[in-house]
Amino acid sequence: MKYLDMKYLDEFRDGDRARVILGRIKKVTTRPWMIMEICGGQTHSILRNGIDRLLPQQITLVHGPGCPVCVTPMELIDKALAIAAKPDVIFTSFGDMLRVPGSRKDLCKVKSEGGDVRIIYSPLDALKIARENPDKKVVFFGVGFETTAPSTAMSVWQAEREQLKNFFLLTSHVLVPPAMQALLSSPSNRVQAYLAAGHVCTVMGTQPYEPISEQFKIPIVITGFEPVDILSGILAAIEQLESGRAIVENQYARVVQPEGNLAAQKIINEVYTVTDRKWRGLGNIPNSGWKLSDQYAKHDAEKHFDVGELTVDEPPECISGKVLQGLKKPPECAEFGRKCTPMHPLGATMVSSEGACAAYYAYQRYGEHVIATNDRAK
């Protein structure tokens, strides 16, 4: 059900339409199914609108690694902290990275200790700061999925054209499909269908998901973020599962084209090359990230500041890795809402505005799902 005749945002929040789709979901569901939504924005929408509580008991939604802040490894946070503390550096970042904990502190702490750490709203803001401060080294912390990679790439492209020798990029851009493959390849995998992130597919298109669906025989439904979007995606996934089909289906066709955004892909391919990347909670995933290509390597902050290789252990009491793999839900953590809160987070999933732990905390989900899961297992 794609609702291609709908044009306005409030139509995708319409309660009557949502109830119709819910009725269809209940009608077609005959056995237990587990679906993972990839994007943290989808997770927040599901909890904010109570979608998980409205679905038939046979359907379990689990939350994937769809928050770029959450999957940024602690080693890279520590590198950011080391660079930001240097006296000749202006370190710029989106605000959601400032409170992500490293092994000892976060960027807010570096700022309080005298580091020049600034919140910006676009990579182009960092370029402006570099132009205005030629005696300083300006570093932008580029974190995100395929969605934000083009704008970060454009900032480096522009810096190269302007010959800004004081502009550097600390890169933590990652690709979603390899992470999906890694989860499905895990012996502990429980996922039977994916809801793929619509904004990622807006950039990269639908084609990267077809080999995954074919290899693992799993439905992948690309969907948006409003209640009707998500319910339509769940319905499409359940219809495939119940009928034994496994294809890529584009529920978000009003935005996503099969080929994606070719101009965005062009700038990505010029500025970056694909590389292996460590994901917090998932470990090293081959070909799952980007680094600056040789042409733009002079802007690579890791190389310029020679921060070296770091190995950092996650806090033993934090289960964010299992949350990101869909193996646990946040209230199953003994420290959730106790030692770990948004003001005093143990892990990135409690800090980020797209983190699963932050969503459960914000919408006061403190454990009813554990009772429901136990009931289903009986």
| Residue 348 resides in a domain | no
| Residue 362 resides in a domain | no
Residue 155 tokens, joined: 């900032």
Q: What is the pLDDT of residue 5?
A: 61
| Residue 315 resides in a domain | no
Specify whether the backbone of 218 is left (phi greater than 0), alpha (psi in -120 to 50) or beta: beta
CATH number at residue 141: 3.40.50.11740
Tell me the one-letter amino acid at 187: P
Per the structure, how many domains does the chain have? 1
Give the structural domain span for 15.
1-308
Please state the three-class secondary structure of 290-355 as a single string.
EEECHHHHHHEHHHHHCCCCCCCCCCCCCCHHHHHCCCCCHHHCCCECCCECCCCCCCHHHHCCCC
| Residue 299 resides in a domain | yes
Specify whether the backbone of 173 is left (phi greater than 0), alpha (psi in -120 to 50) or beta: beta
pTM for this prediction: 0.90
| Residue 182 resides in a domain | yes
| Residue 50 resides in a domain | yes
| Residue 210 resides in a domain | yes
Q: What is the pLDDT of residue 348?
A: 85
> In sequence order, which residues have a C-beta less than 8 Å from that of residue 29 and are 6 or more positions away?
56, 58, 59, 238, 242
Q: How many CB atoms lie within 10 A of CB 154?
A: 18
CB–CB of 316/322 below 8 Å?
no
**Residue pLDDT, tens place only, 49-74:** 999 999 999 999 999 998 888 899 88
| Residue 365 resides in a domain | no
Strand partners, 140: 92, 169
Q: What is the pLDDT along the chain (378 residues), one digit of tens a residue?
A: 445 566 677 788 888 899 999 999 999 999 999 999 999 999 999 999 999 999 999 999 999 998 888 899 889 999 999 999 999 999 999 998 998 888 889 999 999 999 999 999 999 999 999 999 999 999 999 999 999 999 999 999 999 999 999 999 999 999 999 999 999 999 999 999 999 999 999 999 999 999 999 999 999 999 999 999 999 999 999 999 999 999 999 999 999 999 999 999 999 999 999 999 999 888 899 999 999 999 999 999 999 998 877 667 777 888 888 999 999 999 999 999 988 998 888 888 998 888 999 999 998 887 654 434 433 333
